[in-house]
Structure 1
Amino acid sequence: MSLLDLLSPLPGGLNLSLVALSVLTSMISASAGIGGGTLLISAMAQVMPAAALIPVHGMVQLGSNAGRASMTWRHIDRRVIAAFLPGVVLGALLAAWLLVRLPSGVLELTIAGFVLFSCWGPAPSARALGRVGTMLAGALTTLLSSLVGASGPLVGSFIKHSQSERMARVATFSACMSLQHLTKAFVFGVAGFVFHDWLGLMVAMIVAGLVGTWLGLRLLKRLSDARFDGLFKWVLTLLALRLAWLGAERLLG
């Protein structure tokens, strides 16, 4: 048995493919601000057992986002994090109590509609971006993240309106997502998931993700705020359209 076979219950070739994909998706998230995590979970869903998908993806994304946040920590909006954190805790407690899969078709369509409106509709009021609104966003997106692993576009939609500068947007988004993914160790630990079986693959993908993040941040620094804003909006839009397609497909059977 090769070293690659020892990383997880998956065959060695699949483990290597997921490690390589972690580099690419982390590079996408660092340079475009969002999108890598959704692409990664879509690919992982094709080859991993359903019970392992969200907890393993969550730990890999924790490493990737924490690495990105540490590399851009000077740009993190700490006021947003201070308001977001209580919501994260509340959402994690709710998820631990209600660890079930919500109606996926309706959920994907709802998320897609919200993201599209946030990208192309009117800007939210100052109250929606205030402390209470930020806390509620943290609670809702953390709950969704633990249940279905689909909170990235929602958090990105919120951060899009609260941060106008590209480095602040990437840094604050990464910090928020790190907090959310950190709760999954608690939520799925309570649910009895055995992380040890997948530890090798998670560590390898986290290290690969740090490499991708470093490469992506080099690219990000070459983008203007205007160009980054357009790229961020269109990546969100494409993710929303993909979610809408999946939701309609599942509702129609």
Structure 2
Amino acid sequence: MRYFYHGMVQLGSNLSRASMTLRHINLRLILWFAPGVLLGAWLGSLFLVDLPLALVQICIAGFILLLCWGPPIPAVATGPVGTLLAAGLTTFVSLFVGATGPLVAAFVKQQQKGERFSTVATFATAMCLQHAPKAVIYGAAGFVFAEWLGLILLMIAAGAAGTWAGLRLLRRLTDSRFTLLFNALLTLLALRLIWQAISG
């Protein structure tokens, strides 16, 4: 259930981020990401079970570190088919783990070659697509979130304020500085996943 609430807050926050960076969205990637999301969500709706969390966390962390610090992934992996498969896989896993955002971020960053505004805008839009099906799938499974609506809306508003402040800072960064900071943050998140998997 916590993944459902997390998904709703993330959906609202990423909607605000996408709307503030609308002209920078890479629509070509999104057009291939969207059907992958639908495929992953459909498969996930058939298997509403728990996956081995520690194993999934370590796998996600490994892919994040590879995408951040490894060699550039082949062009076919960031092309239409690779984007569709990545969307399907991460959407499927996100229904059970809720920790795929950093992996999608690392993938989008490579696909956008580190261009900061396109990376932020496209990632936000991709995450909107990925979190939206959770409302339908978990709602159909019987989860009721009306009693948490006020808190969810408050968290979304706080996220929008953070996005506004973050975009002001983003304008002052170069693409190379953004890439370094982005990789560092994603690495910390990956290490946190590894620690959670080991200690959990």
Q: TM-score range by the shorter chain?
A: over 0.9
Hey, what's the Cα distance between the residues in 2 that align with 1:112 and 1:194? 31
Aligned partner of 1:68 in structure 2 is 17
Aligned to 1:248: 198
Q: Look up the match of 1:204.
A: 154
- Separation (CA, whole Å) in 1 of partners of 2:170 and 2:106: 19
Alpha-carbon separation, structure 1, partners of 2:68 and 2:162: 26
Which of 149, 154, 167 is the matching residue for 2:98? 149
In the aligned structure 1, how far is the partner of 2:184 from the partner of 2:160? 25
1:87-106 residue pairs with structure 2 within 5 A? 87-106=36-55
Partner Cα separation in structure 2 for residue 170 and residue 243 of structure 1: 22
Q: Give, as a single letter, the amino acid of the residue that structure 1 aligns with 2:56.
A: L
Q: RMSD between aligned alpha carbons? A: 0.9
After the TM superposition, list the runs of 4 or more consecutive aligned residues in structure 1 that deviate by more than 2 angstroms. none
Matched ranges for 1:165-176 at <5 A: 165-176=115-126
Look up the equivalent residue of 1:125 and give its one-letter code: P
TM-score, normalised to structure 1, is: 0.77
What corresponds to 2:67 in structure 1?
118
Post-superposition CA distance 1:139-179 (Å, at most 9, x none): 01111111111111110121111012100000000000011
Runs of 5+ consecutive residues of structure 1 not aligned to the other structure? 1-50
Q: Deviations over 1:86-125 (max 9, x none)?
A: 0000111111111122101111111111111111111111
Contact 1:83 1:135 in 2 (8 A): yes
Conserved 8 A contact 1:84-1:134: yes
Among candidates 64, 70, 84, match of residue 135 of structure 1 = 84
Letter of the 1:97 partner, please give it.
Answer: L
- Report the Cα distance in structure 1 between the residues aligned to 2:181 and 2:137, rounded to whole angstroms: 33
Q: Is 1:190 aligned to residue 155 of structure 2?
A: no
Alpha-carbon distance between aligned partners in 2 of 1:169 and 1:137, rounded to the nearest angstrom: 16
Rounded Cα–Cα distance in structure 1 between residues aligned with 2:190 and 2:110: 17
Counterparts of 2:18 and 2:157, CA distance in 1? 15
CA distance in 2, matches of 1:116, 1:64: 25
Larger Rg: 1
Aligned residues: 199
Distance 1:199 1:96 in 2: 24
Query: What percentage of residue pairs aligned between the two structures are identical?
Result: 56
Moved more, 126-135 or 91-100: 91-100
Q: Does 1:234 align with 2:193?
A: no
